[in-house]
Structure 1
Amino acid sequence: MSAETPVCQLLERQDADYRGWWWIAPPRDHWLETGEGCLVSADLSVRQAWLDRGRAAWSPFDSISAEAPGVVLFWPKAHALGEWWLLWLCAQLPEGTPLHLVGEHQGGIKRVLKVLAALGLGCRKLDSARRCSLFETRTARLPLDPDAVWTQFEAEGLNLASHPGVFGHGKLDEGTRLLLEQLPEVLPQGEVLDLGCGDGIIGAWMAREGRTVTATDVNAFAVEATRRSLAANQLEAEALESDVYSALEDRRFAAIVSNPPFHQERSIDYGPAARLIEQAAQHLLPGGRLLIVANAFLPYAEPLERSFGSFRVLADNGRFKVYLAER
């Protein structure tokens, strides 16, 4: 099967023997998923696609047993996250392991040259096509600890952990702030779900208010950030990796609260938010509430109307809207 994405099409035409290599943070692409080697990704949905095909797949927080004759790192939109992956790979793998870096020009792959130079890693360009570039270097012992990229910030009286690539990295998002302003009046008692938890601000706020909280995210970095945020504030809650509702089975909640994502790297992707809304009633108790905030231009009115019959706009500041729908 031929590669589908531009970055994989560039890799497909290489003479390199990629058998057994680690593929780090790649996009969904059947050419990769039906090939050889193993996956390391923070994205649960990507890992699950590989596992469903019987392929080896790990989170960066797992203990990885496979050896790596080489590594291909797909450079992310968040450059600080790309730098974390470089530090992590150099800490994990033997010195001198071949490392290829690939990415789209619009995604900033050309900045890799400066990043590698700053880390003291040599580099050469291997190929360029499909508005993508491929570079080659090798791992080395670096004096920097990958854990050093974790930062903390304060918002709403909470200390929050932050990691590159997690939504709202290092600051409270304006939409989330608007959502939190509405919650005191409309959040019911009982067990609540923070879906797409990011750095954990919504879940931690609800736990502080005495709710029993489950927090989920498809991104392993977000789940770890939420766990660290909860610990930093001496709060108790359950934090799980979940592709929307995949880890929750038939559990039901008094409320589902979310600032749902609509970006996948540089592309707009309404899929997760649409599933969140369409399947919400199945995970709400009778009378349970769905509370979401979204950019004002996003087309959420129709799926809310279709799934719940009606909804209310609790707040609209011109940039963001807070919606409430009841089962």
Structure 2
Amino acid sequence: MNVETPRAEHPVCQLLERQDADYRGWWWIAPPRDAWLEAGQGVAVSADLTVREAWRGAGGKAHSPFFPEPAGAEATPAGAVLFWPKSHALGEWWLLWLCATLPEGTPLRLVGENQGGIKRVLKVLAALGLGCRKLDGARRCSLFETRLGRVGIDSAAAWTTFDAGLAGEPLTLASHPGVFGHGKLDDGTRLLLEALPGTLPFEGRELLDMGCGDGILAARLARQGARVSAVDVNAFAVEATRRSLAANGLAGEVLESDVYSALAGRRFDAIISNPPFHQERAIDYGPAARLIGEAPDHLRPGGALIIVANAFLPYPDRLERAFGRFEILADDRRYRVYRAIKR
């Protein structure tokens, strides 16, 4: 019995689907979730753990840009398709990484939504000395083609550091394009940090930083004597947090995890988070809903969930359902800091 190949759902995938091209053996770089892609025969390279798990769940192959690296025939694909991200700096990093990773002359196609800035790749490629031609355009998306070459720029240069110290206490954080709050201290995280003192003792407590980003919460908690675990679904964030802890001489466990997926059976004295609610340009409450709804299963009795969120987000109802009650620790009209305790 033949299984019908799924049709492309995402506009950029629909644009690729209509091309007269054999993509078997190609690399798909930073792809969106799409059944048509996941049913193909290429290799996904993504910093997003959920994307890699979806590909593997469909019987495909997927890798992180950090580890493990593809080997054998997978390491020399017939070509690659880069899905241009919302962050142009991240798109440029992927280009530099591809130029350094794949053989010179490897075909590269770049696809993205027009409103997401895909047309900017013309200037980016020209600056790198790479030629480019437009292959197609439809559904408010564009597809370009080039060939990889040696560009003499190290992709590692995208890693930067900045000081996120509070109250005169310096704290060095590592940052990378695509990591939340890239290169600066987010206002919501600042409010959360200001509200934390006095909420619970940190010394010797097991605390979880959920959605660790650049590691500011993990580093602050570790500096105050907590035993910190930090998780994020984004491999760039995991690497940034590891670098941030190391830069400040601090210890902590840092894991890739889709919310609690890497933490089965584990419980903490507190879970602290500035949870995301965007996936690219779309609002996505899924991760935050799971963070709140499953938190009681990962807290010890008396343990607290402490989160900061935009004031308009519908989290009070979710906190009420999960914990029975909650309190607001801080509110500056833009953001609120909530605490809910497991009874």
- Normalising by the smaller structure, the TM-score range is over 0.9
Alignment of 1:294-305 (within 5 A): 294-305=309-320
Q: Which runs of 5+ in 2 are unaligned?
A: 1-5
1:185 counterpart (186, 192, 198): 198
Alignment of 1:9-24 (within 5 A): 9-24=14-29
Q: Which runs of 5+ in 1 are unaligned?
A: none
Alignment of 1:173-212 (within 5 A): 173-189=186-202, 190-212=205-227
2:43 counterpart (19, 38, 41): 38
8 A Cα contact 1:188 1:254, kept in partner: no
1:83 counterpart (72, 92, 108): 92
Question: For residues 36-66 of structure 1, what are the alpha-carbon distances to aligned partners after superposition, in whole Å with 9 as ceiling and x for unaligned?
Answer: 1110000000100111112110000022111
1:110 counterpart (116, 119, 141): 119
TM-score (norm 2): 0.95
Q: Within 2, Cα distance between the matches of 1:299 and 1:175?
A: 16
Identity of aligned residues (%): 72
Q: Does 1:74 align with 2:83?
A: yes
TM-score (norm 1): 0.99
SS at match of 2:151: coil
Deviates more, 1:234-243 or 1:114-123: 114-123
SS at match of 1:117: helix
Q: Could you tell me how far 1:188 is from its partner in structure 2? A: 3.6
Q: Within 1, Cα distance between the matches of 2:36 and 2:58?
A: 12
SS at match of 1:76: coil
Q: Does 1:245 align with 2:250?
A: no
Q: Does 1:262 align with 2:277?
A: yes
Q: Which residue of 1 aligns with 2:10?
A: 5
8 A Cα contact 1:188 1:255, kept in partner: no
1:308 counterpart (317, 323, 340): 323
Q: Within 2, Cα distance between the matches of 1:276 and 1:33?
A: 26
Q: Does 1:147 align with 2:162?
A: no
Q: Does 1:290 align with 2:296?
A: no
One-letter code aligned to 2:208: L
Q: Within 2, Cα distance between the matches of 1:3 and 1:187?
A: 49
Q: Within 2, Cα distance between the matches of 1:241 and 1:234?
A: 21
Deviates more, 1:151-160 or 1:191-200: 151-160
Report the RMSD for the aligned CA atoms in angstroms. 0.6
Q: Within 1, Cα distance between the matches of 2:256 and 2:219?
A: 17
Q: Structure 1: which 4+ aligned runs deviate by more than 3 Å? A: none
Question: For residues 192-212 of structure 1, what are the alpha-carbon distances to aligned partners after superposition, in whole Å with 9 as ceiling and x for unaligned?
Answer: 000000000000000000000
